[in-house]
Amino acid sequence: DVKVTQSSRYLVKRTGEKVFLECVQDMDHENMFWYRQDPGLGLRLIYFSYDVKMKEKGDIPEGYSVSREKKERFSLILESASTNQTSMYLCASSLGGGRNSPLHFGNGTRLTVT
């Protein structure tokens, strides 16, 4: 079974801090995603990656960056955290290569910026 692990369940950071959210998957999936989940807004795509060192902007990339140096790891970076980035962050992975496979999600990181 695919396992997607997010390093932290809860994080509390201060405004202006640089924040790293880490995600690791163990099934050799090509695609990895970062979503943000807010009540009433559903899931919004921040960034995705379909290969090592490749990244594509999603719907709401402003204020975020990502890094994918290894196939199994996809990091989300908040360069200077702000209170409006308080949210639930979900990482996911899927098979690539043109295959329309479902996403496998981690359990999420709830980030609070004070």
Partner 1 sequence: AQSVTQLGSHVSVSEGALVLLRCNYSSSVPPYLFWYVQYPNQGLQLLLKYTTGATLVKGINGFEAEFKKSETSFHLTKPSAHMSDAAEYFCAVSSFSGGSYIPTFGRGTSLIVHP
Cβ 106 to partner 1, closest distance in Å? 5
Select 35 or 78, whichever has its Cβ closest to partner 1.
35
Binding map of partner 1 across residues 20-59, x = CB under 8 A, - = no contact = ----------xx-x-x----xxxx-x--x-xx--x-x-x-
- The stretch among 12-20, 62-70, 71-79, 104-112 that binds partner 1 (CB under 8 A) is 104-112
Give the 3-state secondary structure of 13-71.
Answer: ECCCCCEEEEEEECCCCCEEEEEEEECCCEEEEEEEECCCCCCEECCCCCCEEEEEEEC
Under DSSP, the state recorded for 73 is E
